[in-house]
Amino acid sequence: MILYHAPSSYYSMIARLALLEAGLAFDQQMMDIHFAQQQNASWYVAINPNMTVPCLAGEGIHLTDSRDILQFAAQSAGATWMDGEPSAAALIAATVEGHYRMSIESLTFTRLMNRIWPLRVLFPRALARINRKLQAGLSSASDPEAVRGKIALNTERMAYFTQGDLRQKLQVQRDRVVAYLRTLPAPQPFLFGERMSSADVVVAVLLGRLRMIGEEALFADLAGLGLWFEMMQSRDAFARADIWVRFQPLRIFLRR
Ligand SMILES: N[C@@H](CCC(=O)N[C@@H](CS)C(=O)NCC(=O)O)C(=O)O
């Protein structure tokens, strides 16, 4: 099976970590989602009409969302993960659900725009340029519905990035993350017992993102979570999954 993913992409990180922690082998196709916008190319839209990464495709498998890939990894891992454990299953599912209710994209972008002010102009401009390109290709698109959906999403993103007070928006996102982190149990040593779970995967990637955007303070005083994160980072899969804990713009520019 092939994982279509991008190194810097948050949801690709979830897919990578899930597959590697589950011990699954996969080939990979790296996507340039920033400059070449390969997620919008017609060959990729045919594979993933969501026009996003990650996507896992192979014989008898076609998953177009990180959440489905995570679920697939948990099922494949069987008893080596806690997900199937009757005493923990519902709590793990609720933790994964809660994670996917947050907008990590809004948090990341408002934080970056807050810190690096030219991005306040550059992000909306880039989105407007992408939408012009999508609009121009609409009449010849093989899946115009998908393209229209993407244009609408980018329009929403532009509105979010340009309207309202940046600090206030950032605070809203921070509050959501803190409220979520406070629902997590004290690790023992994994979040829901002695073995890994889907919850450990999403929370590890989330804390990686918080560290990357300089928001470590959001989890600094939460009992046990810092140590748990150190433990997760020391795992072989974490390094192999290329979870970004610091921003690496050069890699984005060099497309690697
Ligand atoms: N719900 C999707 C979200 C995927 C997603 O938003 N991926 C981002 C990268 S982290 C993407 O492909 N962005 C490019 C775009 O929207 O054009 C998932 O969990 O896989």
Tell whether ligand 1 has an atom less than 6 A from the beta carbon of residue 127. no
Looking at the predicted structure, is the pLDDT value of residue 223 above 90? no
The residue whose CB lies within 8 Å of the most ligand 1 atoms, and thus the one to mutate among 14, 32, 37, 53, is 53
Tell whether ligand 1 has an atom less than 6 A from the beta carbon of residue 104. no
Q: How far is CA 163 from the centre of its chain?
A: 24
Longest CA span, the chain: 55
pLDDT in tens, 133-186: 999 999 999 899 999 999 999 999 999 999 999 999 999 999 999 999 999 999
The pTM assigned to this predicted structure is 0.97
Residue numbers of the domain that contains 182: 2-254
Number of independent structural domains in the chain? 1
Tell whether ligand 1 has an atom less than 6 A from the beta carbon of residue 67. yes
Closest-CA residue, ligand 1 atom 10, reads: 9
Mean pLDDT of 95-100: 98
DSSP single-letter state for residue 103: -
pLDDT above 70 coverage of the chain, percent? 100
pLDDT in tens, 2-60: 999 999 999 999 999 999 999 999 999 999 999 999 999 999 999 999 999 999 999 99
Q: What spacing in Å lies between the alpha carbon of 45 and ligand 1's midpoint?
A: 13
Looking at the predicted structure, is the pLDDT value of residue 255 above 90? no
The residue whose CB lies within 8 Å of the most ligand 1 atoms, and thus the one to mutate among 11, 64, 160, is 11
CATH of the domain at 171: 1.20.1050
pLDDT in tens, 51-72: 999 999 999 999 999 999 999 9
- Comparing C-alpha atoms, which of 188, 104, 6 is closest to residue 197? 188
Q: Could you report how far apart the first and last alpha carbons of the chain are, in Å?
A: 21
DSSP single-letter state for residue 237: H
- Comparing C-alpha atoms, which of 60, 53, 61 is closest to residue 16? 53
pLDDT-derived band at 125 (thresholds 50, 70, 90) equals: very high
Give just the sign of the alpha carbon dihedral 144, 145, 150, 156.
positive
C-alpha distances out from residue 121 to 75, 76, 118, 171, Å? 43, 44, 6, 20
Tell whether ligand 1 has an atom less than 6 A from the beta carbon of residue 55. no
Q: What's residue 256's pLDDT?
A: 85
C-alpha distances out from residue 215 to 12, 67, 91, 176, 186, Å? 21, 24, 26, 13, 20
- The pLDDT mean for the chain works out to 96
